[in-house]
């Protein structure tokens, strides 16, 4: 063997020992040192590679590399002043990210990325080291306002457009959300059947009911379907964002649009279903006033069961006080069930019938001669009505107000007064009362005070064709017949002298003559 052949065998061919790389190739290597701002990598080349340490820093500034890590980087076929091959991990990440984006676009698959920063019109999204563009309108189903709050968040995206020559890509998260929403809607509509029971969230409260979000589809719970009990306003039972259980009671479709009607009360048994097992006509029960209308009171006697007390069944009084002022919503009252109409879900109640009819035992409570007290309920030309108790009124006739026709008492409505019972007619439900009878009858001692022949002064109170009436004292008048005028022409309110010519105590009559002096 020649010396040249021996030298060839001893001296290695370095082109065969070391790898050959072209500029822009992605190479693999192992970290052999981390020193200062540089990371040194063995890539199996004639010289070691060098990468700036900042390319290994995370978003928080932490250096995520150590000796022994295997990495990929881009080879540039250039060396630094110290002879190390210049490499870039960031460039390799960009290429890998771009390749992922292209592959996802080609296959129509989703790709995961992290929103990196806010830019004009949207965001940049980092996929490995590649930055794609995400329009602001493609982040959520609805427009967003707080752009910075999305920075740093990871999502799945759909690649909707790429430009290979410019190496840029446009992403969308909205298309994925829309697809998810369509899927949810489809799954939800498979569940939405009449009679189905679902859970939802209160989305809106109105005067007439509650809108419930069933998971992307809204339904209405009308106020009458919220509870078997009376509800004045839906907010009494639910609040916004409350989770509620509902039953689908009806689905209406019109021109391709569906309306869903929901019920809450339908989840429990209808209280009217077995009403006859709980209540019967004639039952005396307690209830709570839930509504007041012009024609009476609505009273709830059990949850979901209410009846009407017609205004004529509130009191035995002929002219009762305004029940709107006597009762208020929430008052507890005793009632008697007078009728049950299960088919029409109606019940008639009575308050007055929970008490005895006052005229049944009227003669036990009142007797002629009794002094009673009552409230004035009516003032007429012929007399005054006085309420003695509920359903019992007495009349003071105008002739029984005062012994003196000119001196009648001043009495007003709602005055509380005393009177004397004069007569009771149970059959006609009438009681005669007297006010003047509370004082002594001035005619009782008339024969002791006056005698025939007495000459006294009197005042003319009226002049009639047959004579004149003169007032002798309070409650006592005398007739002066025209034949006894003795040429005197009496004038009303004139004081005259008279002579008593006859006294009839029993008939309460005095006859006198004028004295012409």
The per-residue pLDDT for range 87-106, each reduced to its tens digit, is: 988 888 888 899 999 999 99
Encoded tokens for 24: 């822009």
Listed by start position, the domains of the chain span 25-92, 108-177, 192-267, 274-354, 361-434, 445-514
490 DSSP 8-state letter: -
Asked if the 274-354 domain carries CATH number 2.40.50.140, the reply is yes
Q: Taking the model in full, what pTM does it have?
A: 0.55
DSSP state of 259: E
Give the CATH architecture of domain 361-434. Beta Barrel (2.40)
3-state secondary structure of 86: strand
Domain spanning 25-92: CATH superfamily: Nucleic acid-binding proteins (2.40.50.140)
CA distance 400 to 364: 24
Could you tell me what percent of the chain has a pLDDT over 70?
Answer: 96
Query: How do residues 134-159 score in pLDDT, each as one tens digit?
Result: 999 999 999 999 999 999 999 999 99
Mean pLDDT (whole number) for 34-43: 91
**Pairwise pLDDT comparison (25 vs 9), residue with the higher score:** 25
Q: Strand, helix or coil at 308?
A: strand
Structure tokens at 181: 């929403």
326: CB partners within 8 A, 6+ apart: none
Assign 369 to helix, strand or coil.
coil
Give me 109's structure tokens. 């698959």
pLDDT at 417 over 50: yes
Write down the pLDDT at residue 93.
87
**How far is residue 174's CA from residue 125's CA, in Å, rounded to a whole number?**
14
Average pLDDT over residues 502-509: 92
125 CB neighbour count, 10 Å cutoff: 27
CB 260 within 8 A of CB 218: yes
318: its two tokens: 């002929």
What is the pLDDT, as a whole number, of residue 10? 44
* Overall fold of domain 192-267: OB fold (Dihydrolipoamide Acetyltransferase, E2P) (2.40.50)
Task: Give the residue-averaged pLDDT of 266-288.
Answer: 92
Which CATH entry fits the domain spanning 445-514: 3.40.50.2300, 3.40.50.300, 2.40.50.140, 3.60.20.10?
Answer: 2.40.50.140
Task: Give the model's confidence band at 8: pLDDT under 50 very low, under 70 low, under 90 confident, else very high.
Answer: very low
pLDDT of residue 7: 47
Confidence of residue 19 (pLDDT cuts 50, 70, 90): low
Ranked by mean pLDDT, the top range of 7-11, 322-326, 330-334 is 330-334
Mean pLDDT to the nearest integer, 451-456? 93
Nearest to 338 by CA among 355, 356, 351, 319: 351
Look at 5-14, 94-103, 144-153, 424-433 and tell me which has the smallest mean pLDDT. Answer: 5-14
């Amino acid at each position: 063997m020649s010396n040249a052949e021996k030298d060839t065998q001893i001296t290695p061919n370095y082109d065969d020992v070391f790898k050959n790389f072209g500029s822009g190739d992605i190479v693999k290597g192992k970290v052999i040192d981390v020193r200062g701002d540089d990371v040194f990598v063995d890539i199996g080349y004639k010289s070691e590679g060098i990468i700036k340490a900042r390319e290994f820093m995370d978003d928080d500034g932490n250096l995520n590399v150590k000796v022994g890590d295997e990495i990929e980087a881009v080879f540039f076929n250039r060396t630094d002043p110290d002879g190390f091959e210049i490499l870039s991990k960031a460039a390799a990440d960009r290429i890998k990210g771009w390749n992922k984006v292209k592959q996802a676009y080609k296959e129509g698959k989703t790709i995961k990325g992290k929103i990196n920063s806010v830019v004009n019109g949207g965001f940049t999204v980092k996929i490995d080291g590649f930055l794609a563009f995400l329009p602001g309108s493609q982040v959520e189903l609805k427009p967003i306002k707080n752009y910075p709050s999305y920075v740093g968040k990871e999502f799945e995206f759909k690649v909707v457009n790429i430009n290979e020559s410019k190496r840029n890509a446009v992403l969308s998260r909205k298309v994925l959300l829309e697809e998810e929403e369509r899927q949810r809607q489809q799954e939800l509509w498979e569940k939405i059947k009449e009679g189905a029971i679902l859970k939802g969230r209160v989305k809106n409260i109105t005067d007439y009911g509650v809108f419930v979000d069933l998971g992307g589809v809204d339904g209405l719970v009308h106020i009458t379907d919220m509870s078997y009990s009376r509800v004045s306003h839906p907010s009494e039972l639910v609040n916004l964002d409350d989770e509620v259980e509902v039953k689908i009671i009806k689905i209406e479709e019109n021109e391709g649009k569906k309306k869903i009607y929901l019920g809450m009360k339908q989840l429990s048994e209808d209280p009217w279903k077995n009403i006859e097992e709980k209540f019967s006509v004639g039952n005396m029960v307690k209830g709570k006033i839930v509504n007041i209308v012009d024609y009476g009171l609505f009273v709830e006697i059990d949850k979901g069961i209410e009846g009407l007390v017609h205004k004529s069944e509130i009191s035995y009084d002929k002219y009762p006080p305004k029940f709107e002022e006597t009762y208020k919503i929430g008052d507890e009252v005793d009632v008697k069930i007078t009728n049950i109409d299960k088919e029409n879900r109606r019940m008639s109640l009575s308050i007055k019938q929970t008490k005895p009819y006052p005229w049944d035992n009227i003669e036990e409570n009142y007797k002629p001669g009794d002094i009673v007290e009552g409230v004035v309920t009516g003032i007429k030309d012929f007399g005054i009505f006085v309420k003695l108790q509920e359903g019992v009124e007495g009349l003071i006739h105008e002739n029984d107000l005062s012994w003196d026709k000119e001196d009648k008492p001043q009495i007003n409505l709602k005055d509380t007064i005393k009177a004397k019972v004069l007569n009771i007619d149970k059959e006609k439900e009438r009681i005669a009362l007297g006010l003047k009878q509370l004082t002594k009858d001035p005619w009782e001692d008339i024969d002791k005070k006056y005698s025939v022949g007495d000459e006294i002064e009197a005042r003319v109170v009226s002049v009639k064709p047959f004579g004149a009436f003169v007032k002798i004292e309070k409650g006592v008048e005398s007739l002066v017949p025209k034949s006894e005028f003795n040429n005197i022409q009496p004038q009303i309110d004139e004081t005259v002298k008279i002579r008593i010519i006859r006294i009839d105590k029993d008939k309460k009559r005095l006859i006198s003559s004028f004295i012409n002096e």
